[in-house]
Structure formats: C-alpha cells, structure tokens
C-alpha cells in the first residue's frame, strides 16, 4: 500500500512539474510578444511619416524614369539614393525581423506586402546592379520578404486571419 501511495505522489509530482513547465513556456511566449509590440509599432509609425511617403512615392513615380540602373544604388545622385535607401533599408529591416521570427510573417506581409512588392519591382534592377558592383548580396532580407510575399497571396493571409469586408465581399 505504501508503494502505491508513493507512486501516486510521484505521479502527481511529475504532473505538477509538467504543468508548471507548460505554464512557464506560455508566460515566456506572452512576455516575448509584449516586448516586441514596441518594435512592431515603430514600423507602423515609420510607414506613416511624411518622409516615408515622400521616399516611397519618389521611388514609385520617378526612380525608373529619371535614373539608370547602371548606377546601382550607391551611384545614384542625391536625393534619389536617399529615397532608395530609406525604402530599401526599411523593408530589409522588416525582413530581418521576419527571418528571425521576431515579428509574425503574416503581420508584415498582410500589411506591407503589396506596396513592398511594388517597390521591389522598380528597385530590383538597381539592387541587382549594386550586387554586381559590390560583388556581394545587397538587401537580402528585403529580397527574402518579397519571395515570401509572392508565395502567399494577400487574400490568403487576410482569410487566414479571419478579416472581413464591410461590403460582404472577399
């Protein structure tokens, strides 16, 4: 009988230890998400500044028409180089956070994906030439983010998140 009680106490101890471990892991994940909230908010804030819009709009409207990709990025005249770097480094930094699982991929792709893909299409010839000039990869995390975006349609991301439309459409 004593061995049965000892076994029950041991089993209860193991169960309590496992439950404590599961609870601790959940708390660590919750704290991690809370600590990363300011990082995510900074990206959203940056993407709403007049400087960001000016840089992004210039890249979309003027880069290909006014500059030769033969210059790469580093050879662009100012303010073109500043605008391209602002946009490129912004998306590259986002890509770092996605690649290292600091922020959720769906969050970045669902919110920034369409505009990012548009900027990439225009900037890519300049980025490719910059890689040739430097003889190394350039804006690799931006590149990876574009690949991730192209593998998942925005509609799939929105549907996965349960987003709805006020007009009832999909």
Query: What is the reported pLDDT for 49?
Result: 94
Query: What is the reported pLDDT for 102?
Result: 83
Closest among 64, 65, 62, 84 to 73, alpha carbons compared:
84
Query: What is the reported pLDDT for 52?
Result: 94
Query: What is the reported pLDDT for 32?
Result: 63
Query: What is the reported pLDDT for 29?
Result: 64
Query: What is the reported pLDDT for 116?
Result: 97
Query: What is the reported pLDDT for 25?
Result: 67
The rounded distance, in Å, linking the Cα atoms of 149 and 30 is 26
Query: What is the reported pLDDT for 170?
Result: 63
> Maximum distance among all alpha carbons in the chain?
89
Residues of the chain with pLDDT under 50: none
Query: What is the reported pLDDT for 6?
Result: 74
Query: What is the reported pLDDT for 7?
Result: 75
């Amino acid at each position: 009988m004593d061995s049965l009680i000892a076994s029950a106490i041991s089993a209860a101890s193991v169960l309590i230890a496992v439950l404590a471990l599961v609870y601790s892991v959940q708390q660590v994940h919750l704290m991690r998400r809370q600590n990363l909230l300011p990082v995510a908010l900074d990206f959203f804030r940056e993407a709403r500044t007049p400087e960001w819009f000016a840089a992004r709009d210039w890249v979309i409207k003027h880069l290909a028409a006014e500059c030769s990709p033969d210059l790469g990025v580093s050879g662009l005249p100012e303010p073109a180089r500043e605008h391209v770097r602002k946009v490129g480094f912004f998306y590259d930094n986002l890509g770092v956070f996605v690649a290292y699982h600091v922020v959720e991929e769906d969050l970045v792709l669902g919110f920034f994906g369409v505009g990012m893909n548009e900027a990439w299409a225009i900037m890519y010839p300049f980025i490719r030439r910059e890689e040739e000039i430097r003889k190394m990869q350039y804006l690799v995390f931006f590149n990876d983010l574009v690949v991730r975006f192209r593998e998942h349609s925005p509609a799939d991301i929105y549907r996965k998140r349960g987003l709805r439309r006020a007009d009832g459409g999909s």
